[in-house]
Structure 1
Amino acid sequence: VVGAERNVPLENPPYPEAVARAMAFIAARLEEQPSDPLPLDAIARAAYVSPEHLCRLFKTHTRHTPAETVRLIRLDRAAVLLARTNFSVGEIATLCGFPSQFHFARRFKEAFGQTPSDLRRAIASGLGGVPITRLLQI
């Protein structure tokens, strides 16, 4: 291995083509239709692989399943909307494709360590809350 001889870390290889196609499809679809369901079959068809193979590729190369990837992108978008808009938590849940405000709040707290309402209150009071960072590094 060339980089190992000089103690230089090797660049991570790019995602396999199927994962890159799936990521592009997910990003485009969530941009165009953020609240619509995004079934695994549709993602796999866009990547030209079976759903099972796509799941294996995603877990290997991103450490997330395609469904987790979709959820993390939606949570990232929701955090931005909470910080930058006056939409209600329920509106943001719907806009970001969560089936209910309760489900959204639970997933948000799992990801960010506080509820959407807590984050919004902290921002409004000037305390800031948890810094909004990308949950998924693509």
Structure 2
Amino acid sequence: MLNISATRRRNRTAAELNMAPLIDMVFLLLIFFLVNTSFVKETGIDVSRPTAATAAVKPNAMILIAVDRANRIFMDRREIDLRAVRANVERALAENPEGAVVVADKESSTGVAVQVMDACRLAGASTVSLAAGLPEQGG
């Protein structure tokens, strides 16, 4: 008589799960997301932007400068002097030559904002803009 259960036990092979392709795929995904992540630079203070109906998004605006209501100037999360704006913008443009400069805050005085924009132009920035938001659509 043929013993079927004994034959099945002898022919049964242990199932293996090869982890190497799974680990390779996880590392590839990690590298993909690290390479494609864009890091947001901040000015260091909260900026209240004025609204403008013609406001447009600047996709390559990587150099952000904020001027607060006390006319203090912030760049890369630190306060800088007006005389240091040009050197800081030159350094930032050396890292990202295509970067546009955005100057922001509606509560600063116009004179300081214009001086900051002028220093940015003297540093070699081809595009200097004032930050503005779109007006909220009322219900």
Q: Which protein has the larger Cα radius of gyration, Structure 1 or Structure 2?
A: 2
TM-score of the superposition, structure 1-length normalised? 0.28
Higher helix proportion (structure 1 or 2): 1
